[in-house]
Structure 1
Amino acid sequence: MSGLQEIAVYDSNQLYGQVGKYRFLQFSNEAIQGAIDLKNPGRIVMEYPRAIIHLMEWNDRSFENVFMIGHGIGTIAGHYSDKRFTIAEINEKVVELSKAYFHYRSDDTVIGDGRQILCDQAPAAFDYIVVDAFTKEGTPYHFTTLEFFQLTREKLTASGAVIMNLMGKIKNDKLINAIYTTFREVYPYTKAFSLPAEDAADIRNIIVMGSSKAIDYESRVMAGFFEIELAEGHRMLDKE
């Protein structure tokens, strides 16, 4: 237990039905936040970071500066030794565990609230902003509002993009629809992607991306994610 967030590290011989030797970082409510293949630590085993990496590389092959909210085990930042990452993580214990058990080596993490840390960054400083922050209630509210998305756009270069990893349903999910509708008020070009599931009511990873320029991708490299259309929702604003 760290603060109000229960954190577990454990090993398993299975990942999504694949037999091997894996290690997981898991928060409360059984949400897996990161996983590595202990026999091949450089292999990215979870789908959503593979899809995010593809979107980043496909839309800007020469990107240099990335701001991330949510450290996890540091999968995306650890994939790039030649890029400059600034990672905001609210829970210092998450960073400690990523270094102790998941081979994370960089000292690029700032401990604190991601929105406040982003506020302190220079305008137009980043090619990408990646939001991958979760508590047991889901994505923290203050990372889903109109004011937050306006802040992200201020901190991006003119051709930069924000990418969010969310958890929800692709149909009749009022929160997901509201986040995406609010997101689209700020970014003229937006796309949403989902992992497949047995039923439309199943919770799964949903990635949303927004930019001031057109967004492209290669379907076969999206780690199983496919583009989806989300319904209109209400606008999300900072609480009084």
Structure 2
Amino acid sequence: MKKKNALKSKKEKAPQNKKARRIFLYLVVFGAGVSVLAIELAASRLLAPYFGSSIFVWGNIIGTILIALSLGYWIGGKLADQHPNVEYLMYLLIAAGILTSLIPLLFQLYTKLAAVNFSFLTFLIAGSFLAMILLFFFPVFLLGMVSPFAIRIMISDLKSSGKTAGSLYAFSTLGSIVGTFLSAFILIPFWGTKETIYLSALILLFFSAWGLKKKPVFFLLILIPIVLYFVTKGDNIKSVAGLIYEKESPYQFIQIIKKDKRYELRVNDGWGLQSIYDPNSILVNSYYDDYSVLPYFEHPNRAKDVLLIGVGGGTISRQYLAFFQDRISLNIDAVEIDPGVIKAAQQYFDLAQQPISIHISDGRAFLEKANQRYDILIVDAYSQQIYIPFHLTTREFFNVTKSHLKEKGILAINVNAASRDSELLNRILQTLKSVYAHVYLSPLGEGYNWLVLASESNLDLGGMKQSVDNPILQPVANEVISGFEEIKADSRYPVLTDNKAPVELLTEKEIFDYLFKKS
């Protein structure tokens, strides 16, 4: 009688255990999906301070993740046929969780070694790819095995195998969707990149410990990401000499560096200098200074409406206010896409004291909605450190700028190029020429900054030079005039359009040319 009751109890528990296992496996594939996309997005932010966030770095990130997942699906399916049990799957999750926990710590070591052994360009492209392979490939590879294992464990009837596989992949994809939005809109912006990685590891280790709950010792593994979080909590994301401020914004990694009495704003990998503030000098001995002579091209004593796209720390607006505010009515609209940059500049630069109108927006989106026309429109917007956003280099964008300039208004752009023969520089010039009647070019500084001007009116160089009545600005005017040329139409260089504007590819070519020229 007792034996019959035991068998009956066992039969009643079997369906319950089977149902609990199914629910648990759905949660596991969901958690793995969350973690994969959280790790991928965190990878982009972890790499950005050192390697930037260009399309090439993103290509390395996405490509590595897809390779890892593909191999994980393939090899995971084979292993699942050999070991179709939950315990084996949990051991794979443990390995993925531990490897994920170690990513921030190992990345610090990697960047120190890579910076010493790689050249500039190799560091940016090959270095980011190697970082993905060494640090992110293996945990994602293991996570790719989760769905094949879950499918193999859950399939007991071939008639419902398609339904089982489809529902598990749906849950995995749902987890990836949640991981994407959760990481992009909440975890990374408000908590941090390293913290997001540690949370992903915590999720994986919790599920693995729960799956092995008959062996409670595995719950101790949850302590690994927690301990590493506190070990690395006080570390700077990227330590550099003179660092006084660093912050991850939704758009980029921001640093303020103090050199003597001069403050510099840098973003992501720091190769490009975004703004300079010197409390003891208005001029900063950089291309920013050259924008200061633009008001002298046309009636320097008349009121001026100025638009700055990419205000950064307010270097240019500070110079305009210092040189012209006391002599003319000056209205400055300043557009900046990243509120984190504005916050840093208001704290460490003098942006908070500048009487200008700051608009948090993409420059082109701002212009599309604006009704005002300007005397001077300056585009000094760089995304990902050294890349002009492609949508700010196209014929369509320049048509928008033209519609927002007054009759004799001037558009000014700074372009980084290795030489006058640069394809990037010439394609921007020809794109401007397809829109504006007059386009001008002037080499600045060390030879890789080029001031590009465009207007419907002919610019009078001689008149501008004679109008400069501030002795401080006379050397600047001489620099702008030196090598000044008007651009003619040249069919060898295709016009950049919204449909086709390979600006990042052309910029990478500039880096190659610059390094070759330097060597």
Q: 1:3 to 1:168 in 2, by over 3 A?
A: farther
Deviations 1:74-110 (A, max 9, x none): 1222232441111111100111111110111235111
- Which of 178, 192, 204 is equivalent to 2:427? 178
Corresponding residue for 1:238? 498
One-letter amino acid of the structure 1 residue matched with residue 377 of structure 2: I
Give 1:58 shift.
3.1
Among 440, 459, 467, the alignment partner of 1:215 is 459
Quick one: which of 162, 170, 184 aligns to 2:411?
162
Distance 1:107 1:162 in 2: 19
Of residues 282, 287, 296 in structure 2, which corresponds to 1:48?
Answer: 287
Note the alpha carbon deviations across 1:132-173, whole angstroms, 9 max, x for none: 000125110001000111111111111111011121122332
1:111 alignment partner in structure 2: 360
The AA in structure 2 aligned to 1:169 is A
- Partner Cα separation in structure 2 for residue 8 and residue 222 of structure 1: 32
Deviations 1:95-128 (A, max 9, x none): 11111101112351111111011111116x2111
Contact 1:36 1:44 in 2 (8 A): no
> How do 1:118-137 residues align onto structure 2 when only pairs under 5 Å count?
118-122=367-371, 125-136=373-384, 137=386
Shift of 1:194: 1.4
Q: 2:337 aligns with which of 71, 74, 90?
A: 90
Relative contact order (C-alpha < 8 Å, sep 6+): which is higher?
1
Name the residue aligned to 1:27: 267
Please identify which structure carries the higher helix content. 2
Tell whether 2:429 aligns with 1:146.
Answer: no
Q: How many residues align?
A: 225
Whether the 8 Å CA contact 1:169–1:176 is kept in 2: the answer is no
**Structure 1 contact 90–114 (Cα < 8 Å) conserved:** yes
Aligned to 1:37: 278
Q: Give the aligned residue type for 1:50.
A: D
CA distance in 2, matches of 1:58, 1:64: 12
Partner of 2:314: 74
Alignment partner of 1:183: what SS? Answer: helix
Q: Distance in 2 between matches of 1:188 and 1:135?
A: 28
The answer to whether 1:12 aligns with 2:259 is: yes
Residue 317 of structure 2 contacts residue 332 of structure 2 at CA under 8 Å; is this kept in 1?
yes
Return the offset for 1:7: 1.5
**Which secondary structure state, in structure 2, belongs to the residue aligned with residue 209 of structure 1?**
strand
Ranges in structure 2 where 5+ consecutive residues have no aligned partner? 1-247, 466-473, 501-519
Unaligned runs of 5+ in 1: 14-20
Question: What is residue 65 of structure 1 aligned with on the other side?
Answer: 305
Displacement after TM superposition at 1:223 (Å): 6.9
Q: Secondary structure at the match of 1:222?
A: helix
Give the Cα–Cα distance (whole angstroms) in 1 for the partners of residues 253 and 313 of structure 2.
Answer: 15
2:349 is aligned with 1:102: yes
| Structure 1 counterpart of 2:286, one-letter code | E
Secondary structure of 2:311's aligned partner: coil
Report the structure number with the largest CA radius of gyration: 2
Matched residues in 1 for 2:336 and 2:291: separation?
19
Contact 1:168 1:206 in 2 (8 A): yes
Structure 2 CA distance for aligned equivalents of residues 63 and 130 of structure 1 = 17
Instruction: Report deviation, 1:196.
Output: 4.4
Distance 1:87 1:196, change over 3 A: closer
The answer to whether the Cα contact below 8 Å between 1:68 and 1:129 also exists between their aligned partners in 2 is: yes
1:47 touches 1:223 (CA, 8 Å); kept in 2? no
Supply the distance in 2 between the matched residues of 1:138 and 1:223 (Cα, whole angstroms): 28
Does the aligned pair in 2 maintain the 1:50–1:223 contact within 8 Å? no
Alignment RMSD, CA only? 2.2
CA contact (8 A) 1:50 1:222 kept: no
> After the TM superposition, which of the residue ranges 221-230 and 107-116 deviates more from structure 2?
221-230
- Percent identical pairs in the alignment equals 25
Change (3 A) 1:196 1:84: closer
Q: Secondary structure at the match of 1:35?
A: strand
Q: Higher strand proportion, which one?
A: 1
User: How many angstroms does 1:26 deviate by?
Assistant: 1.2
What is the TM-score normalised by the length of structure 1?
0.85
Cα distance, 1:214 vs. partner?
1.2
